[in-house]
Every structure is written in structure tokens, then in C-alpha cells.
Structure 1
Amino acid sequence: MPEYSNIEMTRKQLYDEIWEISVAGVAKKYNLPYTHLMKQIKDAGIPIPPSGYWTKLNFNKPVTKLELPEPADEIILLSNSRPSTSKKKRQSLTIESYSKDELEAGIAEASTALEAPTLPGEEQAPFPSTTIKDDASEVAQTIDLPETYEQSGQTFNIYDRELLYNEIWLAPVTEIAKRYAVSDVTIRKVCQSLDIPTPPVGYWAKLRAGKPVPRTPLPITNKPTKKSGVRTGTDYSPSLEKETLSFLNEEDRSVVLSIATQIRLPNENAKMHPTIVAHRKSVIDWKRKHREQESKGYNRRAMDTPLFLADTVSEESLPRVLHLFDALIKAMEPLECSLTSDLKFVVNGETVSVSVTEAKDEIQHIPTKEENIQLLKYEEDKRRNSWASKPKIRKYDYVYNGRLTVSINSSKSFRDCKSYVIEDRLGDLMISLYEASDILRQEREAREEAKRKRQEEERRREERRQRVNEEVDQTLILENLSEDYDTACKIRRYIAAVEVSENLDPKTKDWITWAKAKADWYDPTIAREDEFFGKRDHQKNADQKKLERRWW
């Protein structure tokens, strides 16, 4: 990157560049320290994009561009006040080079998801995607390489506690590990040894959803503030994932993502979707009937088949689950999605099943009055008879605890945990339904293609079978015709031998005439009709054409 000592431009030129590529982009373009550039922009009275501007721009939402106050043609001198250092110094990013405020300002500038109040920032850069991975890649380009040193032919990283702390809360550990050319496990061990808190489970998901997320402060410690470790060159290389909803066209994808980011639970008093209301009534009726059948001692096999949600969640959690389904279908119905009677989602023409289960706690079983009576009777019988049978009373009861797990198409699951509850993941649930529909579409098309190929193969096999059979029939007919022709030729040769005699009596001559007629009857090329036998069916086999006496 070229070094600039002083850059001259008008307020209007700097204003246009800021609103086109962001302050971070301008700082990167001209190799200027971010905080120094921000100070000069504020001193010049140039407005900058507010927090959330680039995110709204990416989702095609309306944004407000602040006007530039006069004078627009005033010349501004942008200076690069970063001291010139050796190559070794430029590779290090220590607290002496950049203060904590400078680091946090750079963090806020680089991440499109940092709208949380705990991570300060003046604006957001216009990245094409809101994923944490893209943000970390952009940050890795703007932050200098980690400080290293050579020893015994190996390269060692120098981990600075405060610097690593800021990096860990900037991007996922796997991305930070790439910068240090080590594995993510190594980075976690370094954080543990330097007493550096790391983001909890669900932190990045909440950050992507634009929700407030607390940042654990760096604690005071007596441990060393720096640590060195060998640079193994082993980094975390996750398999490349397809872009979210990449199977949709750009317009539909933008609409679905926009709705997914805004989906919320409806008011508790709001009227539910008619399909959900009908299913709730069916579940209540099933539960009532099930209790009646249990009280009458019905065998489990004789009971009615459980309805969806009837035996997987408690009555206390059922309204909560139905509200989740209600929020999803009300958000997705304008996108031509629907709900079946058993609460399956029809997305893009594919029926996506959703299963919901509620976890249970194991608690010590307290015997009921009836069970205590059985135990007393057992003890009494045992004193009287050695063969008394002890009643079977369970040791534990399993009680629903309210923690839900929602599984989409028996593959992707969302569950209540310490970091979030399922209500916080409605947008992810909606996206998962769309992704599951595409998987089902691919599976259905694969089945249809396999079925088409089987049918095509069967058709070709049938055609060949018919063709072979036709060939067999034609060959047998040819054989039968040739046999009849041979018979006719044999008869004619015999007639010719008889005709050689000079003294033929009238009876012999009559026989010759008769024999020639029979030869013509056998000959398929002549196919003469006989007075008694009619026309010979030359195509039949010898057994079918065999002459037999008649007994009538």
C-alpha cells in the first residue's frame, strides 16, 4: 500500500467518498489512521453515515443521507500522522501503537452487525453480506499482522493480552486463529492462560440478529500480559458453505431475509391462525379422551394415535408452541406459504415437517396412597409367606421442565439454552424452513428422476423383450415354411423319379397328377388350396400341421 504524507481534497470530495465507501474505506484507501481521520472529519464539520446505515442499505431499506453544509469547496489537508517504523514494528499491533479506543473504533467500523450498544462505533462499512465471517475477513485486511520472532528456525507468535481480547470480541475464534496461523484450539488455550474472557454460546447469532449483547470486560489479573507460542501454520479451514438461501433468486432472497429479520411474536391476545386454533381444539379433545382411556385401563395399543404436540409437550407449554407456529405462519403466509391441518409448513410447494419436544427432569418418585397400601400388603404377605411378590413401583418420575427443542425436517434443531430461547430464533427458524424445503425439493426431484430412469429402463427392456419375441416368432415361421417347402420338393423329386418309367398306366398317371397337386399344397410359394384339407397354414409348426384321421 502506498504511503501518503498529505492529501488535499475539498470538503465535497471527502464527503462523497465517505458516503460511498465509508470512513473505514477512506482510511484504508489513503493509508490514514482511522481515529485521526475521524477527528479531522469532525473538525471539518462533515456529516458521516449513522449507525445501521450500511445494514439498511444492504437490505434495500430507506436511508437518509445527511446534507453537506457549506462551504463545499473548502480545501482540507488530510495528514498521515502515523510514525514511520521498521518492517518489524509495522507487523505488530500493540497497545503502544493503538490505544483501546482506537481498536474499538476500528472494530465498530469493520463489523456490519455491531449495532449493540456495548460495542461503540460511528458507522458501519457497506459489506455485501452481514455474516460474521465476511466482517472478520475485512478486518483482517485492515489490521496489521501479529508480532512474531524467529528462534531455532521456527516462527513464534507474541500474544498481547489486551490486543487478543479485542480481537476475540471482534470476530469468531476460528477467524482470529487464521491471523496467527494456529488452530482455534490453540487460541482458546492462550485466552485461558491469559485470563481473557471469550464470547458465550449464541453471542454471534444474537449479534447477527441486531440484538443487544453484553461484552464481558477484561478482568484485572496478576497473570502475565504477554505470551509466546510457536506458529504452527495449522489453521481452521471450515468447509465452504453455500450462501444463505442461495437457491432463491436475488429478489425473493432479499424479501425472505428482510422478513426473517423483522419477524416477532404476535400479541398474546391476538387471534391465532384458524388452522392452529382447530389443531389446538383437536389436541385438547385427544388429551381428554386419552385420560378417560387410561382411567379405564385401556392397553396403549388400543388407544388413539397421538396427534402432533399431544404427547410431546406439556399443557403448560402448548400455548407457547402454538404462538411460535402462529408467528411463523403469519410472517410466511404473504410469501405463499401455508399450514397443513397437522401443522406442517408448505414452503415453495414442499411440505416441511416440524417436530417439537419438551425436555423432562428426573425426580424421586413419591409413592401414592395406593402404592403405600400395596407395599404394606407386600410386607404383611412376606411375613406370612416366603413367596410374596413385591409390587413394581417406579423409582423416578419424569416431569416436563419447559425447555423446548424444535427440529426442522428431522435435521436442524433449535433449543432453549442459557444464551437464548427459541423465541429469539424465529428468523433462523423461518430460514431453516426454506432451506429444508429446498432439500426436500432436491430429494423429490432425485426420486422423480430415479423413477423416470427406472421407467425408461423398463420401457426399453420391454421393447427389447417384444422385439426378441417377434424375432423368435419370425424365425420359427421361417423354419416352418422351409420345412413345408422341403416336403414339397421331396414329393416333386419322387414324382420325377416315377415319371422316368416309359410304360405308365392310366392309374399311375392319375396318381402323378394327384401327387403334383399335393406338392403344390405343401409348397408355401404356391399355397394351393386342397379339396379336403383346404389351405395349409405353413407358418405353424409340424405338430400343429400334422394330418390326423377323423373319427366321425
Structure 2
Amino acid sequence: MSQKVGRQSLYDEVWTDPVTDVAGRYGLSDVGLAKLCKTMGIPLPARGYWAKVRSGAQVKRTPLPSSGRFREVASLTRYDSEQVKAKKAIEQRAKETKKSLGQVPVPVEQTVQHPLVTTAKQRLARLDSASEKRLLSAPDEVLDIEVTAGSLDRALALVNALLLGLSNLGAGVEIDREKKRTLLIFESTHFGLKVTERITRREHVETPEEKKAKERYWKSADRYGAQYPSIPRYDYFPTGQLTITAGHWPSRTWNDTGRTRLEARLAEVIAGIVALSSEIRAKEERQAREAEERRQRQLRYEQELQRWEQERALFEELEANAVRWERACRLRRYLEAVEANSGGEGTAEFSEWLAWARAKADWVDPLLKAPDPLLDAPKPKRPGHWWEASE
């Protein structure tokens, strides 16, 4: 969960521990933390600062300037020591994977073709590219590729080399037709894979034919029955620049750049996907632990609530029995007073009433549990209508 970190707090951290350690606490790279500190106006220790500190030298800190136009707080996610350790292990694995792969070739003429690439080539080549953006895509049928016709062969060659390289590491791939995506399956994790082409757009400039079509519409006698000319607002242009995206949250993205195309960085992409699978698995395991902790907390709460309710019910029963016992004692004292006041010469009717009253006192007394055939029975029901009586 993200938290607000102020300038002063972050300044104290980067001058107490090396930037590498502080960056790891927040899941950032050294460069990422340096950029953040720059936007917040936080000076960083110069090169050699920590060597001087370790040697015991007294080195002054660069003071934190006044806030002025700088950001006061940043929203950061703080990781515990175990998470930082796991992140470093994932990064180390990515480096080792990239080193072991070396240069991954992407031949134009593919002697070995992944079956899903073959199917995608056949299906996408048959699609109509006359849509507004001219993108070819059928993610519910074949691999999730969204490119123009001019970039299709290159995208397929790139995906083919990528899938073959991943399959050598034990990864699988399948089409999720329901969610319209391509799923990579690697070390018990499932995450999406997509290749897209960047498209630029510009405001559409009306052609002479479109202008004439609009004029004909406005001059038409039956204008309300005619259809207004369909003129696009933008024109879209392919760039040939491809992007590979893996995962969703977390995710990784690799783009063509002005200096390097994705074909030259395929080992980096594969290593990044391997690292991403470890990150996703760690996230899923953490979420599973958190879910189990929530379940255990809920279970403890329900057990404690049940004990509380049982204790409450027993106490209420205790109080009720005490009240009933007091009522029974009060009735008996009253009957003793009535009998004493009668002078001992009561009639048979009085004796009968006295026996009845003492039975009621016994019925109220919880210590005796004496039943009463009339009061223990349910309350008589009001008679219904004549048609109900016949049922």
C-alpha cells in the first residue's frame, strides 16, 4: 500500500543510507529514486561520500533547500526487508538469464515456426485492413498482435523468436478466447502477452471529393432524407514502431527506440519476462498469505463473537432465573401473610385457592422447575373464518 513520504523524511533516508538501499525499500531503481529526488529538490550525496563515511571521516551533509517550487510529498510503496531481498533475487535472476541467452536471433526466413505463429499468420493475413486505424487484430482467435499490414511479417518473426526462446526455458502459451488475450504460462504463473504497433494521428484535411460531397448534401432538395457524408476527424499513420507488453499488474513493456529495435533486445525481453513471472508468483503468494491471514482473523472473530454471545446468553439466563426466584419468594411470603391473616379458619374454597397459588409460585421458581399444564401450553389461537375451520 502506498504512503505519503515527505521531503524531509526522504532527505534523511538518502543521507543515512546509500541510494541503492533506499531505492530498494520503495521498489525503485537508483535512477528512478534520483529522478524523484530531483523533482522534490532533495540533494544526493556526491561520489565518494560513503567511502569517506566508512573510513570514519566527518563529512557534512548538503543542506535541504527550502521547498519553493518543489514537490512536498511523494506517494511511495514501502517494502519490508524480505520483499527487498526477494526483489534483488528477481533482478539477479534476470541478469543471469540474459547473460546465458546471449544474442537471440530473429531470422526473416523462419526455418522453425511456432504453431500459434503459423495460425496467426494465416488468420491475420485474411483480415481487412481498411478500418480507420488499419490495424490487424483477432485476439479471441489467434495471438494477441495488433499491427498494420506493413508490420505484420516483422511482428510475427519477433513473436516467433520470443515464443521459441521462452519454450526452451519451459514456458507455454495459449489463447484465452473468452478474455481475448494471449496467456504465457511459466512456472505456475499465467499472464498476458501482446505485441502492438504505435499509430500516430493528425487532424484530417478534407479532400476535394469530400468537399463536393458536402456541397451536394446541402444543395440536395431531399437533404433530410439523404445521408451526411462520412468524413473522419483524424487520419492515422503507421510508425512501424513495435511494443511488447507482458503482464498487467505488475507488467513489463519493451519498445523500439530510435537507436535499438526489439530484435536486438530479445534476450533482455525474455529475461524480463522470466523476472516478471517470479514477481507475479511472489505477488500471488503474498496475496494468498494475506487472504489466509484475513480468513484466520475472521475465524477468530467469529469464534470470539460466538463465545461472547454464549456468555451473554448464560448471564442473561442467570439474571432471569434470579428474578424468577425472587418473584417466587415474594409470592410465597405473600401467601404466608394471606394465610396468617385468615386466622387459620379458611374455607375449602380458600384452601383450594391457596394450593393453586403455591403451585404457581413453584412454577415461577427456577430451582423447582414445576410444570404448569395451562401456562406451559401455547396461547390459544383466535378462531378464523368459517372456510378456514373446514380445512
Band the TM-score falls in, shorter-chain normalisation: 0.5 to 0.7
Counterpart selection for 1:463 from 270, 278, 303: 303
Shift of 1:425: 0.4
Q: Return the structure number with greater relative CO, CA threshold 8 A, min gap 6.
A: 2
Are the counterparts in 2 of residues 245 and 434 from structure 1 also a CA contact under 8 Å? no
Q: Separation in 2 of the partners of 1:357 and 1:550?
A: 77
Alignment of 1:63-142 (within 5 A): none
Amino acid at match of 2:368: I
Partner SS, residue 195 of structure 2 = strand
Counterpart of 1:313 (choices 134, 140, 147) is: 147
Counterpart position of 2:116? 275
Query: 1:514 maps to what in 2?
Result: 356
Q: Whole-Å Cα distance in 1 between the matches of residues 94 and 212 of structure 2?
A: 68
- SS of match in other structure, 2:182: coil
1:405 counterpart (217, 234, 243): 243
Asked if the contact 1:352–1:433 (Cα under 8 Å) also holds between the matched residues in 2, the reply is no
**Counterpart of 1:414 in 2: which secondary structure?**
strand
Partner of residue 542, structure 1: none
Contact 2:363 2:371 in 1 (8 A): yes
SS in 2 for 1:268: coil
Name the amino acid aligned to 1:351: H
Counterpart code for 2:109: E
Inter-partner Cα distance in structure 1 for 2:289 and 2:94: 27
| Structure 1 equivalent of residue 212 of structure 2 | 376
- Amino acid corresponding to residue 433 of structure 1 in structure 2: I
1:260–1:426 CA contact under 8 A, matched in 2: no
Q: Structure 2 vs 1, CA of residues 394 and 311 (structure 1 numbering), >3 Å: closer, same or farther?
A: farther
Q: TM-score when scaled to structure 2?
A: 0.58
**Secondary structure in 2 matching 1:500:** helix
Could you tell me how far 1:432 is from its partner in structure 2? Answer: 0.8
Aligned residue in 2 for 1:527:
369
> Separation in 2 of the partners of 1:433 and 1:335?
11
- 1:346-357 maps to which residues of 2 (within 5 A)? 346-357=185-196
Question: Could you tell me whether the CA contact under 8 Å between 1:283 and 1:307 is conserved in 2?
Answer: no
What CA deviation, in whole Å up to 9, does each residue of 1:161-204 have, x standing for no partner?
xxxxxxxxxxxxxxxx94899xxxxxxxxxxxxxxxxxxxxxxx
Measure how far apart 1:402 and its partner are. Answer: 1.7
- 2:345 matched residue in structure 1: 504
- Structure 1 residues 257 and 521, CA, compared in 2 at 3 Å: closer, same or farther? same
Distance across 1 between alignment mates of 2:299 and 2:89: 34
Deviations 1:189-236 (A, max 9, x none): xxxxxxxxxxxxxxxxxxxxxxxxxxxxxxxxxxxxxxxxxxxx99xx
For 2:318, the equivalent position in structure 1 comes to 478
Distance in 2, matches of 1:550 and 1:406, equals 77
AA aligned to 1:520 is D
Deviations 1:138-173 (A, max 9, x none): xxxxxxxxxxxxxxxxxxxxxxxxxxxxxxxxxxxx
Aligned partner letter, 1:354? L
| Aligned twin of 1:335 | 169
Partner of 1:423: 263
Q: Identify if the C-alpha distance between structure 1 residues 360 and 551 changes in structure 2 by more than 3 Å, giving closer, same or farther.
A: closer
Contact 1:246 1:253 in 2 (8 A): no
CA deviation vs aligned residue, 1:82-136 (integer Å, no higher than 9, x gap): xxxxxxxxxxxxxxxxxxxxxxxxxxxxxxxxxxxxxxxxxxxxxxxxxxx9xxx
Deviations 1:510-530 (A, max 9, x none): 443333233222211111233
Which residue of structure 1 aligns with residue 290 of structure 2? 450
1:286-325, CA deviations, whole angstroms, 9 ceiling, x for partnerless residues? x34x86xx79xxxxxxx99877777731123222222222
The offset of 1:390, in angstroms, is 9.3
Taking only the aligned residue pairs, the percentage that are identical comes to 23
1:276·1:343 contact (CA, 8 Å) conserved in 2?
no
Is the 8 Å Cα contact of residues 363 and 369 (structure 2) preserved in structure 1? Answer: yes
Match of 1:432 in 2: 272
Query: For residue 289 of structure 2, what is the amino acid of its counterpart?
Result: E
AA in 2 matched with 1:422: L
- For 2:205 and 2:344, the matched residues in 1 are separated by 129
Cα separation, 2, equivalents of 1:509 and 1:243: 91
Normalising by structure 1, what TM-score? 0.43
Deviation at 1:403, TM superposition (A): 2.0
Q: Relative to 1, partners in 2 of residues 1:451 and 1:383: Cα closer, same or farther, differing over 3 Å?
A: same
- Check the 8 A contact 2:242/2:255 in 1, yes or no: yes
Aligned pairs, number: 292
Write out aligned runs for 1:22-101 (5 A).
Answer: none
Distance in structure 1 (CA, Å) of the matches to 2:49 and 2:344: 124
SS in structure 2 opposite 1:401? Answer: strand
- C-alpha distance in 1, partners of 2:184/2:246? 10
**Any idea what the Cα deviations from partners look like across 1:52-99, whole Å, max 9, x if unmatched?**
xxxxxxxxxxxxxxxxxxxxxxxxxxxxxxxxxxxxxxxxxxxxxxxx
**CA RMSD for the aligned pairs?**
4.6
- Once residues 86 and 312 of structure 2 are traced to their aligned partners in structure 1, the CA distance between those partners, rounded to angstroms, is 60
